[in-house]
Structure 1
């Protein structure tokens, strides 16, 4: 089976951001996507070019075009966000983002009126119906299929870094899960969700996809929802591990980190280097540690079991990638990782708000609404 890879410009960028619609009075997730999208879609078009349905009617996904810099991607998202926020406000709804809603129950939600979602629910049943989760996906352009699989393998070692920075789903149906990212464990219930299958090259990827299709496990490559995967149609490597991020500042951090890593790996391949393929047990263990402990995780850094704090690893990685960031024009956004480390990841900020209000989760929704409007707070919870 041949899978055409529509090569992209090196290090081009695209971002997808899944937004929650909430009732500011009850703070519950509330349907409204169909009406909002109908209002903002330009006349003569069947759908908005940069705002889409997702599985639930309480979700609007906004996407960028093909961008060159992180700043361009943030501006692109901001323009569409303004449209969605204004249309939502006219219906008495607020807009926010986190990996999960703090207390709305998944079984209270209405599925979007799209045939593909009806088919997904019919096939996956409870696994699909409970997908009341929200993420950020980052695409980085790759010039050739032979580079895509080595870059996917190499990026996998940094999944705990992305997950720790983005973790924003400590609550599920009104309970504190004890996790930094409950969303991750919910999504791992999907048969093709989770860590990428380690493959040697593009030919092996094609063979594996053909096997899955022949077996009836999937109908198309789009149904392979790995944490990081090649996207043949876009000619990108797509990072899917991140929880939904409350602010454009945080989106800038993960987009810059992704763009810089892919650019660095691309250059190393050009120089004849063999990119690393970490041991599967290390990837699995590190992902779990980031899910559980977020920025407080100690991650495994070699196959002998040596560990170090993920905070230290992130800070060191940011400094290592600064020369790449300067070439790509995303130095400021990459440096914002230090602001994020100081302010605390969203799961930490949410827990701090809940604790300050005696465990009441409604103020957590208020804080997420405010962060989307005002940006990343400047200090750590409790400071």
Structure 2
């Protein structure tokens, strides 16, 4: 797939799959055909492919995130956030982490049935499960596929606690389920708000809800009694980090009770993709942004060590952490996770796990016996 800015898409490149032995690269042979080919790139449609899954929950033992299990109805994400840390996972499917990630989506049609089967296993111990830890559970295709809603129906029936992270106001579609679960202390929702500038959001997150709609979703959830927080992530030096306090203040005014943040992460292919995106959309500040990222990452564009990858190191990272801590107190917000570190936390540990019950299987209608 040729690289270049596409209407409604985030990445401007489509790097080769790192597991492939061969890769193709566009080359100008002097005839001017390359420039013509990239002059007017056509829009890219979204394709959906069903995936045959063997399990519903993914497990992890990472020491710097607030959950040990998660559910992801989709692989790839149509929101197109250029900085998304989940992009490299698309290489496992044979696709590019670039434009393929936001146009070639996989979905799990049997997810709800698989989840129920796993929850019925003898000896299963309930703890809050993170919904959307990798890709957004309320991305645009959820409007028709409704996989996330079916998962919530199963979790409600079993009395199983769940945390949700999303950039979409589409979470309000399931307000009926969320309200009932909130009354039982079984759910916590976190809206990711990266910027309050709709123009910047359109470039960084082309198919996600506008910042105003995300704030409105926070208000609607809070008014319905659903515990809701805000995740200001990622904070990108010299791009959106200046908005940290404004994001937290606006979210608190709309009813957010908790907050978290994550410093920009650029693992694997995302580093070159983000650099290309900066040079394309913001060439005047690209050098400054990348220099500050390296300052936070020990001279590199990324440091994957646990305890560091979420917040970075050095004076700039320390200043960001102090600003966040001061803003929590100023706006009456708590950290996004009881007893957890104030930065980079998505999980929520204050939910009730004691209500978990395995319901009786639904009785199947008996077939009428034959007379002869």
TM-score (norm 1): 0.25
What is the TM-score when the length of structure 2 is the normalising length?
A: 0.26
- Higher CA-based Rg: 2
Higher helix proportion, which one? 1
> Higher RCO, 1 or 2 (CA under 8 Å, sep at least 6)?
1
